[in-house]
Structure 1
Amino acid sequence: MARLTLNQTNFTAGEVSPRMLGRVDIARYQNGAEIIENAWPVIHGGCVRRDGTLMCAPAKFPDKNCRLIPYVFNTSQAYMVEFGDLYVRIFFADGSYSGIELVSPYSHTMLDRMDYVQGADTMFIFNTTVPIHRLRRITNTEWSLAPAPFVTKPFDEKGIDFLTLFTISAPTVGVGRTVTAAEPAFLDADVGREIWSGGGVAKVTAVTSATVATVEVVNAFSATTRPTWSLKGSPQTTNTLSAFSPVGGVVTMTLGVPGWRSSDVGKFVKINGGLLEVTVYTSPTVVSGVIRTAPTSAVASPANAWSLESSVWNDVDGYPGAGTLYEQRLALGGSPNFPQTIWESRTGEYLNFELGTKDDDAISYNLSSDQINPILHIGQINALIPLTYGGEFTVSGGVEKAITPTNIRAKNPSVYGCNRVRPVRIGNELYFVQRAGRKLRAMAYKYDSDTFGSPDMSVLSEHATKSGIVDMAYQQEPESILYLVRADGVMATMTVDRDQDVIGWARQTTDGAFESAAAIPTGNGDQVWTVVRRTINGQNVRYIERFTADVRVDSGVNATSVEGATVWGGLGHLEGKMVDIVADGVVMQQQLVTAGQVTIPRKAFATSIGLNFKTRIKTLTPEVSGNTGSAQGNSMRIGEVTLRFLETIGCKINGQTIAFRDLGPQILDKPPVLFTGVHRLENLAWDRGQATLEIVQDQPLPFHLLNVIKKITIND
């Protein structure tokens, strides 16, 4: 019979996966737990009861999704933004609603496909189906959400897209085919251009009228009618400028035969080495334009020596779905028809994407790989990091060199792929969720291999991400914790400090389901907000709540009364629920909320009322190697347990209550003193093959467990 004293000094490995319960041979087993629920490991080693949540406001629509996005100008001017179905609402950092609501182009079904980046007081918002918008704070009471007023968008010679059908006399390869458009589409200068629809291609050989043209089918069409089609290339005729200077001047551009359309206004013309923006349509042969870059001359430019180009961001090709700010440029990517193209603005001019070859000109380039995977996110960690569905890329200008139009180096160091959850940067690592939504990876530069690596941070706690991750938020202070919202409504958390080798997973639950999370800085640290779906009085509701150490309940309300009161209201959002009540620091009996209020048996001057949640820590069966081998599988008895606490009130071990309060000088209707020290409990039972402890705090009171000392007897 072996009698040992075992000391678990910390819980920094967090909750380990059930798949790891047999791995008593690894170091993290000794520092882990089988269950850590509604608590989180801290970097110093202990486990702390998680913060409760304060009720801020109901979401605007209880039956539709909403999402929280932080808007941070500085630590004293930080706001939480609620994006919902075609609306935006602004909240102050103290949890109060500002009363400001803006009209939004984003429906509730689009919220999980939104990305954003903020610079100073301007936030750019990205979605592949909506033009890039800007959210701006003018004053605390004046905000705006509108399309970003780009000076120049990226453009290309992409032709014209028609969203109405056309009919071809014969879809097979051959000459003399007749194409009939459902709307006026053809001009004389279209002779020589190509019609594309699906896999079919036809070259225009003659224009009979605005709706009829003769073509030569080069690639067969799938049918005689097609719902949409495109006219590729530029007008096939000469283009003559009235002048070639000065920059900013307005000149006319005259075609040899009709080729201009009223829809050409806003497009760009590259001619004689210059660039002009079409501003006024006069006739099919004459338009006016502003000189953006001066041409070398005004001589007539023949067909194919000049081009008519339009923005690649449009309703047909889509819009960038991801972006970031990097090296004083706005970097964008991930549009549906240009899935692997990245555009970067001019240096210091976020709204100007005019391409060029100078170092500060805008840039456009493609990520090269053996698969076409759309860019889902763009981050940065000493390099620009485009993340795609199929792999991770790094883009730089070389060692200590900036990216320029003539100096771009893109690499593909790993092929894990990511999902739609926005990545989070922690220190010098970029944390992203792998494609299937289950693995959390940390991308960082590895000096030993001179490349970027992305190790799996959830490998020892893979169960913590069960059902998949749908949102993330990072709290840097007071504890370094990454919050990960799961699809099933559980909140997984990971306490992380790479310098101290701390990666501690835990699970947070509530009476309902977490749906979104975001963090903003305050004077006392970062504050995490969440959208919670609850069932109140048989109805589904959605609440905006924020985690805070000021409460030990969920969806809580803190209130005070100068004269004291027994009836406490303001609880309509918890109608019909049993709630925990802390009155002047003393836990009262649970009450049922009726008509938005509860009644307590005595007067109180300050109360904290909300939903109960239970903190639970279950230790692992210890492993001890001796002369006879492993302790696993033997009969074990924990004869005595010593728990070391810090500022704690209340605890149960394997169902037995530990007394934190003695009768005598402390009066029962006054709050107990926070306890720091050790408590011992004796005479726990024998068990075969295991010796675990379940430590529970089910009261809305502080709890901080530092370490667990077990006196254990092991029999063969």
Structure 2
Amino acid sequence: MARRVLEKNTFSTGELAPELWGRSDLTAYANGAARLRNVFIEPSGGVRRRPGIRLVDELDGPVRLITFEFNTEQTYLLAFGDKRAVVFEDGVATRWFETPFGVEHHDLLNWTQSADTLLVVHPDASPVRLTRTMAGDWQMTLWAWRATNYDTAQPYYKFIDPAVTLSPSGTSGSVTITANADVFVDGHVGTLWRIAGIEGEITHVAGPRVATIALKDTLPSTDATIDFSEQAFSAVRGWPRSVTFHQDRMVIGGSRDLPNRLWMSKSGDLFNFDLGEGLDDEAIEFALLADQVNAITGVFAGRHLQVFTSGSEWMVTGDPLTPANIQITRQTRIGSQSKRTVPLVNIDGATIFAGRSGREIREFLFTDVEQAYGSADLALLSRHLVTDPVDQAFDADRRLLHVVMGDGSLGTLTLYRSEAITAWSAQSVADCQFQSVSVSGGDVYVCLRRGDRYYLGVFDEDCGFDLQTDQEIDANEPPRRHWGNLDALDGLTVSAWAEGTLSDGLLVAGGTVTLPGNVGPVSSVQIGVPFTHEIYALPPAGRDGSRPHGGNAVRLVSLTLRLQQSGQLRVDTGRGLRDVALPVSDDAAGTETEKETLYSGDITLRSLGWRRGSGGTINSGLWRIAGENPRPFLLLGAASEMGVND
């Protein structure tokens, strides 16, 4: 006996992992999809064809993208490449400067900003301080610790066995120091040491146990002493791993040789790490000691100082933080990736971090009820889209978290906690891999790799293609079919949108593309790499509260799609993809040309043909949408009327 079932979908739970396709009992199933590619999920639950990517520039090689906010109106994008960084302002490269960071340093690059100063660190390279002056100049310098003639207020540490002693040959000036164990290496030349509280610089290393030091003050005696230490950060011992600012202190989290140690500067004196006498405003230093490895991977200034390690997450409390009242408490045992720095992102009070497994995106969120932090997994329903995250950035205007994956894909999470929306989709660019992402001035910039070529692009609502270039000739020039200045796209197969006509399969050769004869000479053209948006329905599931349809024969009776401001629709209801002509909407917005092509309203399609079983493939759903026309498309919801033969 046949019966009819109505399914409704708003896609507010995003693309569900295939292992959940049999879980029609889940609430998320009713508003999920089997495939959501090259679309963004609206906070309201609709699905929009993503903007194309406008080509900003071709890059010399791989880069790490960093946003620099000088003030509310001036935001810059910094592209850190191989020993150099390029400054982009409004998508235009304005200047460049040398840096100590090469391509080999990109994975563990870490940074933080305070006012007009950006601090950039890496455990194997000297930390730098980048400042943008009021005059518009950029200055990059190495960190300079607070110093006097007798003392440098930087962290110190004794890296060898506590019982090892040093014996100085004199009490002042240049003296020889002899250790009773191997201590010195050639790289120690130029580093600062403290012996019995007196600072000096190593000027010569004669061997593993003998060195010469130039003392800055007088030692109390020449007796052998265990009271000595060397600067915590150096080419020998490594440099800071992570950095942030919290309660008017600079916080350094870990280094290459001290991975679980935390340093906090003197309050109001960011480069002063002198522990002094432990007064309230003086520097703080301690190690994270626990029953598992806790190499610090990131520090974040949120509601509390948050410390992320390779094995767990910690909360540092104290109001204010002082050497006497500081407390550190382990909160969760998730752990973060140690081989790659994925920037920590704050979204509505939650700190988003990539879990150690490489398959999780977690939110570290404080709950008032428990007075503790929890780490909910935001990728629980879409685990298949998260693969070794390498970079992430949050577009606050559109509520979109973009996560670059190790396989070159881009996962996009629509996160709107107040409306209980956590929905994933995935983005791709033909023959390209995403390398880095950053949000600057409200725009989402990405670094793309294609073979051995690298591109900087930005998502642009006015673009229908990827790596798009717009060209237009002056009014006094004759229309043309041949368009040049496309060296960045040389060798690519592109499409062109020329005065309302779409041309596909055009090859860029010698930086030039020729429009087909049926298009004719034109005065303006948009050229880029086409992409296809895809929306696939999940396998049909019963809505009578009992079970999925299982092996019953089902058929799609009708499909009603609610569109808004859409200029295209290509849908498959069982007989293959076909274009659906959209009527003119009475409330269409935009120019007269756009009003003729954009539609808002319902489209109902009818279908014939029975299917048995829901299957487990990507095409198990009763309908799918896929289109590459560079026109807007926004699907607010879908209603499927099915026939079920019991």
Q: Does 1:458 align with 2:379?
A: yes
Q: Does 1:72 align with 2:2?
A: no
Q: Distance in 2 between matches of 1:85 and 1:308?
A: 38
From 702, 707, 711, the counterpart of 2:637: 707
Q: Distance in 1 between matches of 2:32 and 2:157?
A: 60
- Mark the CA change 1:684 to 1:119 in structure 2 (over 3 Å): closer, same or farther: farther
Contact 1:267–1:308 at 8 Å: present in 2 too? no
From 430, 438, 447, the counterpart of 2:351: 430
Partner in structure 1 of residue 598 of structure 2: 674
Partner in structure 2 of residue 403 of structure 1: 321
Partner in structure 2 of residue 293 of structure 1: none
1:570 to partner: Cα distance: 2.5
- Pairs within 5 Å for 1:468-479: 468-477=388-397, 479=398
Partner in structure 1 of residue 448 of structure 2: 532
- Mark the CA change 1:312 to 1:87 in structure 2 (over 3 Å): closer, same or farther: same
- Tell me the alpha carbon deviations over residues 633-669 of structure 1, each in whole angstroms, 9 at most, x when there is no partner: 321111221111111011111112110258xxx9xx9
Gaps of 5+ in 2: 147-151, 179-183, 204-210, 615-620
Q: Does 1:489 align with 2:403?
A: no
Partner in structure 1 of residue 581 of structure 2: 659
Aligned sequence identity (%) = 27
From 492, 510, 521, the counterpart of 1:595: 510
1:504 to partner: Cα distance: 0.5
Q: Distance in 2 between matches of 1:480 and 1:455?
A: 18
Partner in structure 2 of residue 190 of structure 1: none
Q: Quick one: which amino acid aligns to residue 401 of structure 2?
A: L
Partner in structure 2 of residue 166 of structure 1: none
Q: Quick one: which amino acid aligns to residue 424 of structure 2?
A: W
Q: Distance in 2 between matches of 1:3 and 1:49?
A: 35
Contact 2:238–2:257 at 8 Å: present in 1 too? yes
* Superposition TM-score, scaled by structure 1 size: 0.78
Partner in structure 1 of residue 281 of structure 2: 360
Partner in structure 2 of residue 571 of structure 1: 486
Contact 2:192–2:202 at 8 Å: present in 1 too? no
- Mark the CA change 1:433 to 1:702 in structure 2 (over 3 Å): closer, same or farther: same
- Mark the CA change 1:628 to 1:125 in structure 2 (over 3 Å): closer, same or farther: closer
From 417, 422, 428, the counterpart of 1:509: 428
Gaps of 5+ in 1: 160-194, 204-231, 240-252, 291-297
Q: Does 1:350 align with 2:270?
A: yes
Partner in structure 2 of residue 222 of structure 1: none
Contact 2:353–2:361 at 8 Å: present in 1 too? yes
Q: Could you say what secondary structure the match of 1:459 adopts?
A: coil
Contact 2:24–2:542 at 8 Å: present in 1 too? no
From 467, 472, 479, the counterpart of 1:560: 472
Determine which structure has more spread, i.e. the larger CA radius of gyration. 1
Q: Distance in 2 between matches of 1:308 and 1:425?
A: 41
1:692 to partner: Cα distance: 2.2
Contact 1:529–1:544 at 8 Å: present in 2 too? yes
Q: Distance in 2 between matches of 1:603 and 1:157?
A: 72
Contact 1:79–1:520 at 8 Å: present in 2 too? no
Q: Distance in 1 between matches of 2:545 and 2:112?
A: 60
- Mark the CA change 1:40 to 1:670 in structure 2 (over 3 Å): closer, same or farther: closer
Contact 1:517–1:528 at 8 Å: present in 2 too? no
Q: Could you say what secondary structure the match of 2:520 adopts?
A: strand
- Mark the CA change 1:528 to 1:501 in structure 2 (over 3 Å): closer, same or farther: same
Q: Quick one: which amino acid aligns to residue 26 of structure 1?
A: L
Q: Quick one: which amino acid aligns to residue 86 of structure 2?
A: R
Q: Distance in 2 between matches of 1:627 and 1:136?
A: 62
- Mark the CA change 1:703 to 1:265 in structure 2 (over 3 Å): closer, same or farther: closer
Q: Distance in 2 between matches of 1:431 and 1:288?
A: 47
1:155 to partner: Cα distance: 3.8
Q: Could you say what secondary structure the match of 1:11 adopts?
A: coil
Partner in structure 2 of residue 584 of structure 1: 499
* Superposition TM-score, scaled by structure 2 size: 0.86
Q: Does 1:16 align with 2:12?
A: no
Q: Could you say what secondary structure the match of 1:460 adopts?
A: coil
- Tell me the alpha carbon deviations over residues 173-208 of structure 1, each in whole angstroms, 9 at most, x when there is no partner: xxxxxxxxxxxxxxxxxxxxxx97xxxx9x9xxxxx
1:576 to partner: Cα distance: 3.1
- Specify which structure has the higher proportion of strand: 1
Q: Distance in 1 between matches of 2:357 and 2:232?
A: 31
Contact 1:380–1:430 at 8 Å: present in 2 too? no
Contact 1:378–1:387 at 8 Å: present in 2 too? yes
Q: Distance in 2 between matches of 1:463 and 1:689?
A: 24
1:234 to partner: Cα distance: 4.3
- Mark the CA change 1:514 to 1:238 in structure 2 (over 3 Å): closer, same or farther: same
Partner in structure 1 of residue 618 of structure 2: none
- Mark the CA change 1:403 to 1:303 in structure 2 (over 3 Å): closer, same or farther: farther
Partner in structure 1 of residue 181 of structure 2: none
- Mark the CA change 1:688 to 1:285 in structure 2 (over 3 Å): closer, same or farther: closer
Q: Could you say what secondary structure the match of 2:240 adopts?
A: coil
1:464 to partner: Cα distance: 0.7
Give the paired residue count: 601
Contact 1:561–1:604 at 8 Å: present in 2 too? no
Q: Quick one: which amino acid aligns to residue 552 of structure 2?
A: N
